[in-house]
């Protein structure tokens, strides 16, 4: 029962219990509206009084309490009107008054206080007039009750009345009553009345007013009712209250055997249904389904199969139609075989499918909806090779860097045991890379940091053959983080926001300077052996080297040697030096002549007989061998002071001599102060560059060469910008790159930037593509790897879990007919179908077929199906067994064959033989096919039944109504 029906019944019961017997339903509703108005009005007054008593009075409180109280008064008056014996026209007038007064209440809630009594527009008069007008209408109806009152019933129960006879209480169908009355002389006399129950209602009413309404409806229609005599079974064809047409199959005793399974919009459709039943029903076979069965239907010249269970619930259906039923049957058998072997494709987030392509095997990513996300570029010779490639890729994806094409990027990657890096510009070109590999990833990062910090301000330098480079000793880049450019050595870097400044150099001490002679291929020919205070002093030292080297003799020794030399003050001295040029002993005093110094030296030479004797009159080159038997050279001035040395060692004396000669070849090279990093350009078939820090370390080389120097120089602007703004990523064996503009895609790249796989679809924005990539990288390690041998079962979640059986080309072979609320339910259904499909038989629905079905209580009914398996008619009677239901079908066949068609378009009496006994009965049926009343007894003859029916028809319209408890 619905909520409204429950409420209706409860209100009537409470009224009857605590108030009394209502004459009509408006008495009940009027009473409860009055109570509601009283409660609402009291609540409004209480709110106002308590609010002011609590000293919380405000305009809002007044407005709320006023609205509530006025609404309660209106409802009280309207409830009183409903309880009075007011005619329908008065009720309608009261409803108008109710609407007007409630409008006044709403108007007050809007106007008060801003537009009330001198404030704002002042709608106070309008509000009062509207409200009082509505109240006046309701009160006017109440005051005019004597005019608007209708007639009351003619039979009213008097006090002291005797108990009702059994016939009035429904305990008997016949009885007698003494009627006492005054005769024409004023004396009392009485008659004995014979009372007989001629008819009874077919249903019951919840309340007395409803029962009274039902009686009044019978009384108003019974006089115009026609007569239909049922001598055989019949189809009752009638229009329902909602305007649809239906039919029912009745026996000759009026009992209903079966009804149509649906409703029809047109009368002709209902007639066609009846005609189908009469034509096909008597010869229809009985079908039964055990466990499951395949059915076959023809639609638009194509045959389709469907798998149903024993309750005829569809479980699976084929996707494609077939030219003949035989081919549909073959497709159903193939489905059963493939479905039994098919793997359930249960992908939580992402999976890897192996498939054949171009005569080989490859792989692709699919998402949880089985949509292809990305496809591999390579093709492999076997499925196992493709599987191994996917297995190697998946663990790497979990930690893969995600880069964005069009954004400059530093990519650090490992090659063997060494770390390298490359700089990729907006056009995806590698424009710079590391020169050599390093063993530590941190060293690779420091290299890119140095390139990034210095590239924008680096000079462009070309070395013809060789040049002297004067550079700060212990150079280290320091600059304020808010400044765009690094500071030159020895200079201050000025903060752009007025903050602190930083100075290049070692702490607060001024930087020291050194020099080196380098060739165009960065070979260091010579280098200073001590720091200098300034670039100028370092340049002066280079000039001294030039002078000394130009006049220097070549001295070669392998062991220690004695030297006699003239000091700066003109005095002569001697010293003992080892083969590395280290001073082992010194004269300790000055001599006035060479011979005097030589004589002092000879005294010591007796102690070192193997030491050679060197006499220095000018600067000299010394070739020497060290402890590792490596050779080198050094330049000693005439005072015996080391002014330049070989920065490297050589395996042979000849190689050392050759290195010394290179100094002499480039002795007059230009001097350049190298206080910041440089782009050094050089030709080698095409033009190249290397990025050199002041320390002489080459941290980057070009990514691609250029045919001319001008083109190379022009390209450096883009290199500077990219180097300064590039993001920094560490690339493993695989990286993911987002690319696009209006639409976005992604691709997988290996460490050499070769494409591994590319996305198959594009995305509307970068965020969507990034979300897909995040799902891929997050769940790749747990992704299942599978191959579709023949077919797989794919799950889908679109408003409910469903499944499809698909082949390797993603073509749908069959699908589930219904969806499951949860994934577990769908999996359970799939397992059930696997069990049933293999044992399912074949069911052919003829043009019409009877089917027996049982409910949960094992009660059986029949239904008639058409060739498409649709239910046409259902039995209304239940049977205790399958056999009893089968027997009932045999009876129904004969009833259908003999049934006539009756169209019910008005209230009618039906006269027919009694069920299961001899005699006649009648019933009153309305135009909707519902029984309004029926005879209370069975009559021996048709004539007796007709006479009783005529008595009811003649006297019932004027009959009085009495109620007994």
CB–CB of 473/514 below 8 Å? yes
Q: Put the strands of the sheet holding 409-415 in their side by side order.
A: 459-462, 678-684, 686-692, 698-702, 430-433, 418-424, 409-415, 727-730
CA 99 to chain centre: 49
**Residues of the chain below pLDDT 50:** 148, 150-162, 192, 194, 477-506
Q: Enumerate residues 6+ apart whose C-beta is below 8 A from 188.
A: 180, 181, 182
Return the pLDDT at 494. 34
How many residues appear in the chain? Answer: 965
Taking the C-alpha atoms of residue 166 and residue 448, their distance in angstroms, rounded to an integer, is: 111
Taking the C-alpha atoms of residue 720 and residue 459, their distance in angstroms, rounded to an integer, is: 11
Long-range contacts of 361-367 (CB under 8 A, 24+ apart): 361/385, 361/386, 362/386, 363/387, 363/389, 363/390, 363/785, 364/757, 364/760, 365/757, 365/776, 365/783, 367/775
DSSP for 417-441, written as a single string: TEEEEEEE-TTS-EEEE-SS-BS-H
Which pair of tokens denotes residue 119?
């404030």
| Residue from 359, 388, 398, 363 nearest 377 by CA | 363
Taking the C-alpha atoms of residue 590 and residue 565, their distance in angstroms, rounded to an integer, is: 10
| Residue from 717, 720, 679 nearest 485 by CA | 720
Taking the C-alpha atoms of residue 623 and residue 621, their distance in angstroms, rounded to an integer, is: 7
Taking the C-alpha atoms of residue 79 and residue 89, their distance in angstroms, rounded to an integer, is: 16
Which pair of tokens denotes residue 876?
């209304």
Taking the C-alpha atoms of residue 24 and residue 212, their distance in angstroms, rounded to an integer, is: 9
Return the pLDDT at 481. 39
At residue 603, φ and ψ (nearest 5 deg) are: -60, -45
Handedness of CA 73, 76, 82, 85 (dihedral sign): negative
Return the pLDDT at 413. 92
Return the pLDDT at 487. 42
Taking the C-alpha atoms of residue 543 and residue 550, their distance in angstroms, rounded to an integer, is: 11
DSSP for 13-31, written as a single string: HHHHHHT---SSHHHHHHH
CA 542 to chain centre: 73
DSSP for 704-733, written as a single string: S-BSSHHHHHHHHHHHHHHHHH-EEEE--S
Print burial letters for 67-104: b (CB count within 10 Å at least 16), e (below 16).
Answer: bbbbbbbbbbbbbbbbbbebeeebbebbeebbebbbeb
Q: Enumerate residues 6+ apart whose C-beta is below 8 A from 657.
A: 554, 623, 633
Return the pLDDT at 677. 94
Q: Return the number of other C-beta atoms located less than 10 Å from residue 311's C-beta.
A: 10
Which pair of tokens denotes residue 730?
């560490």
Return the pLDDT at 748. 93
Return the pLDDT at 711. 93
> Is the backbone of residue 55 left (phi > 0), alpha (psi -120 to 50) or beta?
left
């Amino acid at each position: 029962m619905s909520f409204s029906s429950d409420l209706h019944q409860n209100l009537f019961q409470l009224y009857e219990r605590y108030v009394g017997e209502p004459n009509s339903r408006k008495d009940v509703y009027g009473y409860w509206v009055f109570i509601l108005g009283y409660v609402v009005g009291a609540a409004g007054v209480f709110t106002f009084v308590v609010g002011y008593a609590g000293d919380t009075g405000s305009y809002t409180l007044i407005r709320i309490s006023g609205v509530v109280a006025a609404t309660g008064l209106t409802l009280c008056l309207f409830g009183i009107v409903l309880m009075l014996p007011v005619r329908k026209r008065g009720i309608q007038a009261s409803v108008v008054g109710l609407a007007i007064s409630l409008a006044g209440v709403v108007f007050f809630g809007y106007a008060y206080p801003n537009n009330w009594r001198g404030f704002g527009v002042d709608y106070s008069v309008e509000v009062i007039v509207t409200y009082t007008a509505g109240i006046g209408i309701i009160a006017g109806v109440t005051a005019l009750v004597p005019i608007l009152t209708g007639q009351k019933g003619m039979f009213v129960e008097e006090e002291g009345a005797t108990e009702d006879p059994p016939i009035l209480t429904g305990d008997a169908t016949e009885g007698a009553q003494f009627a006492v009355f005054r005769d024409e002389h004023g004396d009392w006399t009485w008659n004995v009345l014979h009372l007989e129950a001629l008819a009874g209602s077919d249903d019951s009413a919840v309340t007395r007013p409803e029962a009274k309404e039902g009686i009044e409806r019978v009384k108003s229609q019974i006089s115009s009712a026609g007569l239909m005599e049922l001598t055989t079974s019949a189809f009752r064809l009638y229009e329902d209250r909602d305007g649809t047409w239906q039919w029912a199959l009745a026996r000759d005793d009026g009992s209903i055997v079966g009804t149509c399974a649906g409703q029809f919009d047109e009368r002709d459709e209902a007639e066609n249904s009846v005609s189908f039943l009469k034509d096909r029903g008597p010869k229809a076979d009985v079908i039964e389904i055990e466990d499951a069965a395949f059915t076959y239907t023809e639609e638009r010249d194509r045959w389709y199969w469907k798998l149903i269970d024993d309750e005829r619930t569809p479980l699976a259906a084929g996707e494609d139609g077939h030219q003949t039923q035989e081919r549909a049957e073959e497709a159903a058998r193939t489905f059963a075989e493939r479905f039994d072997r098919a793997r359930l494709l249960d992908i939580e987030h992402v999976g890897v499918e192996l498939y054949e392509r171009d005569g080989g095997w490859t792989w692709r990513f699919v998402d949880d909806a089985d949509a292809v996300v990305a496809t591999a570029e390579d093709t492999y010779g076997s499925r196992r090779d493709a599987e191994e490639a996917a297995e190697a890729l998946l663990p790497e994806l979990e930690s893969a860097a995600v880069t964005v094409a069009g954004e400059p990027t530093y990519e650090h990657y490992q090659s063997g045991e060494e770390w390298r890096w490359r700089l990729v510009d907006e056009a995806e070109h590698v424009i710079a890379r590391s020169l050599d590999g390093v063993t530590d990833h941190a060293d690779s990062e420091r290299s890119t940091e140095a390139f990034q910090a210095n590239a924008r301000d680096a000079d462009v330098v070309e070395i013809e053959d060789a040049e002297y480079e004067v550079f700060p000793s212990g150079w280290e880049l320091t600059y304020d983080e808010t400044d765009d450019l690094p500071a030159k050595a020895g200079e201050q870097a000025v903060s752009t926001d007025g903050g602190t400044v930083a100075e290049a150099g070692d702490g607060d001490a001024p930087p020291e300077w050194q020099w080196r002679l380098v060739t165009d291929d960065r070979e260091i020919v010579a280098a200073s052996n001590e720091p200098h205070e300034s670039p100028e002093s370092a340049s002066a030292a280079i000039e001294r080297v030039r002078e000394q080297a130009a006049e220097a003799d070549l001295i070669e020794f392998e062991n220690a040697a004695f030297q006699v030399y003239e000091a700066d003050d003109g005095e002569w001295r001697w010293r003992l030096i080892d083969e590395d040029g280290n001073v082992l002993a010194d004269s300790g005093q000055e001599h006035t002549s060479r011979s005097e110094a030589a004589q002092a030296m000879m005294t010591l030479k007796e102690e070192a007989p193997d030491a050679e004797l060197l006499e220095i009159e000018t600067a000299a080159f010394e070739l020497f061998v060290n402890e590792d038997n490596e050779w080198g050279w050094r330049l000693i001035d005439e005072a015996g002071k080391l002014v330049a040395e070989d920065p490297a060692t050589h395996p042979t004396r000849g190689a050392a001599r050759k290195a010394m000669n290179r100094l002499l070849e480039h002795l007059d090279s230009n001097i350049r102060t190298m206080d910041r990093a440089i782009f050094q350009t050089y030709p080698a078939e095409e033009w190249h560059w290397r990025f050199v820090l002041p320390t002489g370390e080459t941290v980057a080389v070009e990514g691609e060469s250029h045919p001319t120097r001008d083109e190379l120089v022009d390209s450096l602007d883009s290199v500077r910008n990219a180097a300064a703004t590039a993001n920094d990523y560490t690339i493993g064996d695989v990286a993911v790159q987002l690319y696009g503009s209006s639409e976005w895609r992604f691709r997988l790249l290996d460490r050499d930037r070769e494409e591994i796989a590319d996305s198959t679809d594009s995305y509307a924005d970068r965020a969507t593509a990034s979300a897909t990539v995040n799902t891929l990288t997050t769940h790749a390690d747990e992704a299942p790897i599978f191959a579709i041998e023949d077919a797989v079962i794919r799950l889908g979640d679109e408003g409910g879990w469903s499944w499809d059986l698909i082949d390797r080309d993603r073509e749908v072979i069959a699908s589930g007919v219904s969806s499951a609320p949860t994934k577990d339910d769908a999996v359970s259904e799939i397992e059930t179908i696997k069990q049933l499909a293999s044992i399912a038989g074949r069911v052919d629905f003829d043009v019409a077929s009877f089917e027996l079905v049982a409910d949960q209580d094992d009660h059986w009914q029949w239904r008639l199906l058409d060739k498409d398996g649709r239910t046409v008619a259902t039995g209304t009677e239940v049977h205790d067994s399958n056999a009893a239901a089968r027997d009932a079908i045999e009876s129904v066949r004969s009833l259908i064959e003999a049934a006539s068609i009756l169209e019910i378009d008005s209230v009618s009496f039906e006269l027919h033989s009694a069920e299961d006994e001899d005699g006649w009965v009648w019933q009153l049926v309305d135009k909707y096919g519902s029984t309004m009343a029926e005879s209370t007894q069975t009559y021996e003859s048709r004539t007796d039944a007709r006479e009783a029916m005529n008595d009811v028809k003649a006297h019932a319209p004027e009959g009085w109504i009495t109620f007994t408890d």
